[in-house]
Amino acid sequence: MYGDHVHKKVIETCQIESGITIHFVNEHYDDGDIIFQAKCKVEKNDTPETLANKIHILEHENYPRIVEEVLSGFSLPTN
């Protein structure tokens, strides 16, 4: 499940929170080790669009910082 389908399902199933997960990628879909997670409240008046906006804020606040942190701790093997 992806995109607006996720936000619609979160609202349809009356979830109280949603969020983002940043993870390493491997050969399986959405199966890599989790690096970071952040969440937001789902309000009763949220729509898929307003929830998507909350998720985008989380992404914009966290992705650059987390990627930088991962890369700064990453060292290439020397030959």
Q: What is the dihedral of CA 63, 66, 72, 73, to 10 degrees?
A: -140
Q: Report yes or no on 78 lying in a domain.
A: no
Where in the sequence is the domain holding 8, given as residue range(s)?
A: 4-72
Residue 75's pLDDT is what?
59
The Cα 32–Cα 37 span in angstroms is 13
The maximal CA–CA distance of the chain, rounded, in angstroms, is 57
The pLDDT value recorded for residue 2 is 81
Band (27; pLDDT cuts 50, 70, 90): very high
CATH code of the domain in which 37 resides: 3.40.50.170
CA dihedral 24, 26, 28, 29 (to 10 degrees): 40
Assessment of whether the complete model's pTM goes beyond 0.85: no
Domain count, the chain: 1
Instruction: Tell me the two tokens of residue 35.
Output: 């690096």
User: 18 in a domain, yes or no?
Assistant: yes
> Quick one: pLDDT band at residue 73, thresholds 50, 70, 90?
confident
Instruction: Give the tens place of pLDDT for each residue, 38-53.
Output: 999 999 999 999 999 9
